[in-house]
Amino acid sequence: MRQRIFVDGIAFWSPQLPSWEHARAACNGDYRPPTTAAARPTPTLLAPTERRRAPDSVAVALEVAARACEQAELDPATLCSVFASTHGDLAVTDSVCETLAKTPLLTSPTKFHNSVHNAAAGYWTIGVQCLRPYTAVSAWHYTFAAALLEAATQAVVQQEPILYVAYDIAARGPLGTMAQSAGLLGTALVLAPGPSNTTIAQLDWFTRHNAALTATASDSPLTPILAGNAMHGCLPLLEALAAGSHRNLSLAVSAQLELALELRPHNGENTQTP
């Protein structure tokens, strides 16, 4: 059964493309590296002490979450959210594992609580004083699409906007041989059951079985810049949103299930649920 949602806000951050405006330009063939590239964003919603303690995964997740909510003109404290990461914070996990192997009595409580998969969601809800539920998703190579399906389903079932945040960082140490990822990437969408004055695009979606699916990077202009990151599954949808034209695409949710999407730029018409 086809369902319909609307994209009311979008954000993106990587060191090479530190905003959605940079990413959109690159998708459309106008890639201009920033003159001063920051190693990570600076999420202003955290107090300075918390900001310094927060790992890269939290910093990029909070940055894109805040920007997407701003674009959607919604109070982040009112939104349920879905946070997705393929591996969580591999840098922190590698550090904790190394300490446990060599000097276990010196394990840092701060690093331990930053190693859990829902750390970014926890920082977010505390930072914006949000008491709404959140969901943390990991689905290996299929993480972006699986979590997008979760967020879209929540928007339809709950009939309210949902914040969707997806991010991954670079792998380190022995874990990097198994859980490969390079660079820092974060993106966020605000998905709504109906259109608003900030709506960017309309997404009709449904799931279908496909026994020959693989989760691979797209051939978008962003691929050479960002394909090494474990969250590269976001690139086909970001390219479609940047193009601002009618697109059909499929994202692998698992080895045998795909999320079929029909994207149209929002023009205020044809907004009834199909």
Per-residue pLDDT of the chain (274 residues; tens, 9 = 90+): 899 999 999 999 999 999 999 999 998 888 887 777 788 898 888 888 788 788 999 999 999 999 999 999 999 999 999 999 999 988 888 889 889 999 988 988 888 888 899 999 999 999 999 999 999 999 999 999 999 999 999 999 999 999 999 999 998 888 888 888 989 999 999 999 999 999 999 999 999 998 666 555 556 778 888 879 999 999 999 999 999 999 999 999 998 999 999 999 987 654 444 5
pTM of the model: 0.92
- CATH number for the region 3-265 comes to 3.40.47.10
**DSSP bridge pairs for 136:** 83
> How many alpha carbons lie under 13 Å from residue 60 in its C-beta half-sphere?
27
> Domain residues of the chain, as ranges?
3-265
The residues, ordered by sequence, that sit 6+ positions from 59 with a Cβ below 8 Å of its Cβ are 40, 41, 42, 43, 51
Rounded Cα–Cα distance for residues 213 and 199 (Å): 31
102, two tokens: 């060599």
Select from 29, 27, 30, 89 the least CA-distant residue to 222.
27
CB 68 within 8 A of CB 11: yes
